[in-house]
Amino acid sequence: MGLACKLIFPLILVGVGYVYFILTKLPPVPTIPETYWGPGQPKPDDTTIRPFKIDIPDEVINRLKDRLANTLPFQTPLEDAKQHYGINANLLSSIVTYWRTKYDWKKRQTFLNQYPQFKTQIQGLNIHFLHVKPQKVPSGVQVVPLLLLHGWPGSVREFYEILPILTTPQKGRSVVFEVVAPSLPGYGFSDGASKQGLGSAEMAQIFNKLMQRIGFKRYYVQGGDWGSIIGSDISVLFPDHVIGFHSNMCFVNSLMSNLKLFLGSLAPIIINASQLEIETNYPLSAKFSFIILETGYMHLQSSKPDTVGVALRDSPVGLAAYIIEKFTTWTNPAWKDLDDGGLTKKFTLDKLLDNVMIYWVTSSITTSMRLYSENFNKARRDSGIDSLPVLVPSGCSRFRYELSFLPRFVLKDKYQKLLTLTGHEDGGHFAAFELPEVLAKDVFDFVEEERKSVQIKQEL
């Protein structure tokens, strides 16, 4: 019996060591093939950077107005259902009435064209982007490049309120940003792929090329939603080109981090988590249940994007319902209990419809949703990129109602040079759209912290 005990203990240690090795072993950084994503056989890219303005033909807008005017009667909503069965038909009816009678596309198109826009071809795709430079820069303030990335169901429209803050010198700040904000491939005015396989890592390759082409060898990256995942992939794949990465939805998806999150959420005392970190990650919490409730769209878009895309591409009212619903539930879950979905608390109908219109006039809803199918698949898992740490300086902003609100002890696994980690009691998924001043401050603070850390190292 004594001999057995002596043998069991070393075997347990070996087993624990082996499990730890498996959980912490890092795969090599994947090599991303330079795929030609355009139609047909590969052709040389037109590498010129061409000015672009949004100019939608009147016939497209007139056809839309006809469709809105001839919408079928809405299904009568359940009594007192508010937004708990999806967007309430009474709310949707009021939005469609506004869209049809008061929303002025000509004025909104002028608004959307206020910032310089361009297109250039990369790997067979015409990539659309805003390029906004500071106009007056005082002495002692340095202009630094920032790649700003949106997600789904957003667009570059999310950035129109934060752009003037980022590109205007702020009192007491030593930097100001020159911002490049592209439309993701398949979103808005950027071409969608004609071939399978264009996921976030492949988009990272495209955007790194875009920044090099514009003339930025090194640059900062900021993003939320898909912009966060693409920004993380850029930082992993092209660390020599990324000065620093900031996100308002820092996300981790490795075996070790998921295990730590599970154990820590069950026994938060062992990881010294804050009350907010406990509330947003505990498996039996309302927040966790809310995430399960809200991810049905993700499973659909990961498996059958082209099927649901048929309906959304054909019906402007269906498209508006599908997109605008997210601006209620993902901004503040409590807004599901409001008749108006809380939509005018942080947005206006013009702002929300601008975003819907970008999808409608470009017929890009199907191509945008394909990104889910291209990422939640075996190829992504086999690449191992989700297990690789971000080794460039990083910063995370965590907003109270964001879908992902991870504790520091998990984030540090992924973002190993985490310089700033801020928490905000307000705000949700669309931070740049909801609270542009708050997010801009976090971005400025992160960049100045990164520059300070570099200065300290140089002095040492």
Q: Is 413 a catalytic residue?
A: no
Distance CA(353)–CA(109), nearest Å, equals 12
- What Cα–Cα distance (Å) separates residue 147 from each residue in 165, 189, 205, 243, 396? 15, 17, 13, 11, 16
Q: Is 371 helix (H, G, I), strand (E, B) or coil?
A: helix
- What residues contact residue 397 under an 8 Å CB cut-off, 6+ apart? 246, 247, 248, 422, 424, 431, 438, 439, 442
Q: Is 66 a catalytic residue?
A: no
Q: Which position among 160, 372, 401, 415 bears the catalytic label?
A: 372
Number of other CB atoms surrounding residue 140 within 10 Å: 7
Q: Which position among 103, 128, 225, 322 bears the catalytic label?
A: 225
Q: Is 372 a catalytic residue?
A: yes
Tell me how many degrees the CA angle 435-441-445 measures, rounded to the nearest 5.
Answer: 150
Contact 152, 225 (CB under 8 A): yes
Q: Which position among 128, 191, 429, 442 bears the catalytic label?
A: 429
- What residues contact residue 324 under an 8 Å CB cut-off, 6+ apart? 87, 92, 95, 341, 343, 352, 356
DSSP for residue 208: H
Distance CA(144)–CA(443), nearest Å, equals 12
CA 285 to mean position of chain CA atoms = 25
Residues marked as catalytic? 225, 372, 429
